[in-house]
C-alpha cells in the first residue's frame, strides 16, 4: 500500500512538472509584409532560428510577404492577439502621435538614422514604445532600411525643385506625408500598399512615395511597374518589429530576453544591410531601364528647408509641440 501511495504521489508530481513545462512551450506567429525577394524575409528566418535555437520553449511559424495581411491589418490583428510578432511599417491611423514615423527630414544621413532608430533610449523610441503600449502592442525594435523616394511612370516637371509637378502620387495613411509631397509640388492620393500596383498600371495615380531604392527595385522594377525613381530621401523607411502585448506578457522573463535579443540583432543587421546596399540598388534600377533622377546636395537641402518650414508646424499641431521639442532636443 505504501509503495502504491509513493508511486501515485510521484506520478502526480511528474504530471505537475510536465504540465508546467508545457505551459511554457509556445508557438508564435511571426508575420511580415515585404516582397518575397526582399532581404527582410531573410531576417525573419534568422529571427526564427535564433529564438528556436535558444531552447526556451518557443517555436516560431513565419508568414512572410503579406500572407496574413497588410501592415494595417497586422497592426489590428496583433493588438487583438491574433498575431504574435510582426515586421511592418507602423502607420498613424490609430494614434496621431505615431505620425513621428513619417516626420520628414528628421535625419539626413545613416549615422543620424541609426542614432534615432536603433538607440533604445532615443526620444523617438521612447515615444514610440509608449504609444504602442497604449494600443496593446509591445515595441521590440525599429529597423531603418533606407531613405524613401518616389516611384513614378516618368520624371515630372521641376523634379529636383519644389514647383508644380503636374503629377498625382500615392501616399500612405499619413497627413504628414500628404503635406510633405504637396510641399514638394505633387498632388496626393491616399491608398493602402496593396492598391499601388494596379493604380499605377491603370493610371489612377502617376506614382507613389513608398520605397527605398532596394524596394523600388525588388517590388516595382522587377514587376515592370513604373519607369522612374526620384530619391528625395524625405523620410526614412523605418520598419518596426513589434509584438502583441498579450503575447509578450504571457512569456517568461527568459523567453522575453531571448525574443528581444533576436529582434535587436535583426534590427541592427537590417540597418547595416541598408547602409551598405542603398547605392547599388540605384544602379540596379538603371540596369532595369528605370530613369533615376540625379539631385545635388544643394537641391535636396532646398527641398528639406521648404518641407521643414511648411510641414513641421503642421506636425506639431497633430502630435503635440512637446513631442516635436523632445525629438529636436535629441537630434
> Does residue 177 sit in helix, strand or coil?
helix
Same domain, 262 and 304: no
Burial class (CB in 10 A: 0-12, 13-18, 19+), 153: middle
> Does residue 295 sit in helix, strand or coil?
coil
Q: Is residue 6 part of a domain?
A: no
- Number of domains making up the chain: 2
Q: Is residue 1 part of a domain?
A: no
Q: Read off the pLDDT of each residue in 33-53 and give the average, rounded to a whole number.
A: 95
Assign residue 34 the CATH number of its domain. 3.40.190.170
Q: Read off the pLDDT of each residue in 321-330 and give the average, rounded to a whole number.
A: 94
Q: Which residue has the cell 513641421?
A: 312
Q: Is residue 5 part of a domain?
A: no
Same domain, 284 and 305: yes
Same domain, 179 and 246: no
Q: Is residue 228 part of a domain?
A: yes
Q: Is residue 2 part of a domain?
A: no
Q: Is residue 201 part of a domain?
A: yes
C-beta separation of 74 from 293 below 8 A: no
pLDDT tens digits, residue range 85-96?
999 999 898 999
Q: Is residue 81 part of a domain?
A: yes
Q: Under 8 Å CB-to-CB from 253, ≥6 apart: which residues?
A: none
pLDDT tens digits, residue range 242-294?
999 999 999 999 999 999 999 999 999 999 999 999 889 999 999 999 999 99
Same domain, 154 and 132: no
Q: Under 8 Å CB-to-CB from 223, ≥6 apart: which residues?
A: 197
Helix (H) and strand (E) counts in the chain = 12, 11
| Domain range for 195 | 149-235+279-329
Q: Read off the pLDDT of each residue in 78-82 and give the average, rounded to a whole number.
A: 98
C-beta separation of 238 from 71 below 8 A: no
User: pTM to 2 decimals?
Assistant: 0.81
Least confident of 166-170, 225-229, 295-299: 295-299
Amino acid at each position: 500500500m505504501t509503495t502504491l501511495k509513493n508511486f501515485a504521489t510521484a506520478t502526480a508530481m511528474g504530471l505537475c512538472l510536465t504540465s508546467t513545462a508545457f505551459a511554457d512551450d509556445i508557438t508564435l506567429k511571426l508575420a511580415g509584409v515585404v516582397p518575397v525577394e526582399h532581404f527582410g524575409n531573410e531576417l525573419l528566418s534568422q529571427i526564427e532560428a535564433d529564438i528556436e535555437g535558444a531552447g526556451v520553449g518557443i517555436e516560431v511559424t513565419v508568414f512572410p510577404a503579406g500572407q496574413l495581411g497588410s501592415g494595417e491589418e497586422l497592426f489590428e490583428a496583433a493588438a487583438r492577439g491574433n498575431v504574435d510578432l510582426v515586421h511592418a511599417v507602423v502607420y498613424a491611423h490609430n494614434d496621431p502621435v505615431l505620425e513621428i514615423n513619417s516626420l520628414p527630414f528628421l535625419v539626413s544621413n545613416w549615422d543620424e538614422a541609426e542614432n534615432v532608430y536603433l538607440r533604445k533610449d532615443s526620444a523617438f523610441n521612447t515615444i514610440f514604445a509608449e504609444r504602442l503600449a497604449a494600443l496593446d502592442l509591445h515595441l521590440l525594435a525599429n529597423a531603418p532600411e533606407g531613405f524613401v523616394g518616389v516611384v513614378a511612370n516618368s520624371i515630372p516637371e521641376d523634379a529636383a525643385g519644389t514647383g508644380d509637378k503636374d503629377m498625382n502620387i500615392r501616399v500612405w495613411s499619413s497627413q504628414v506625408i500628404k503635406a510633405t509631397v504637396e510641399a514638394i509640388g505633387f498632388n496626393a492620393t491616399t491608398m493602402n500598399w496593396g492598391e499601388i500596383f494596379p493604380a499605377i498600371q491603370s493610371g489612377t495615380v502617376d506614382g507613389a512615395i513608398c520605397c527605398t531604392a532596394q524596394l523600388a527595385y525588388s517590388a516595382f522594377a522587377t514587376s515592370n511597374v513604373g519607369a522612374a525613381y526620384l530619391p528625395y530621401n524625405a523620410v526614412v523607411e523605418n520598419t518596426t518589429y513589434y509584438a502583441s502585448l498579450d503575447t509578450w506578457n504571457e512569456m517568461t522573463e527568459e523567453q522575453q530576453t531571448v525574443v528581444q535579443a533576436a529582434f535587436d540583432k535583426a534590427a541592427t543587421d537590417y540597418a547595416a544591410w541598408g547602409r551598405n546596399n542603398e547605392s547599388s540598388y540605384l544602379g540596379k534600377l538603371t540596369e532595369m531601364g528605370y530613369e533615376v533622377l540625379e539631385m545635388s546636395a544643394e537641391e535636396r537641402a532646398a527641398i528639406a528647408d521648404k518641407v521643414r518650414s511648411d510641414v513641421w508646424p503642421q506636425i506639431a499641431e497633430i502630435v503635440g509641440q512637446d513631442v516635436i521639442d523632445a525629438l529636436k532636443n535629441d537630434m
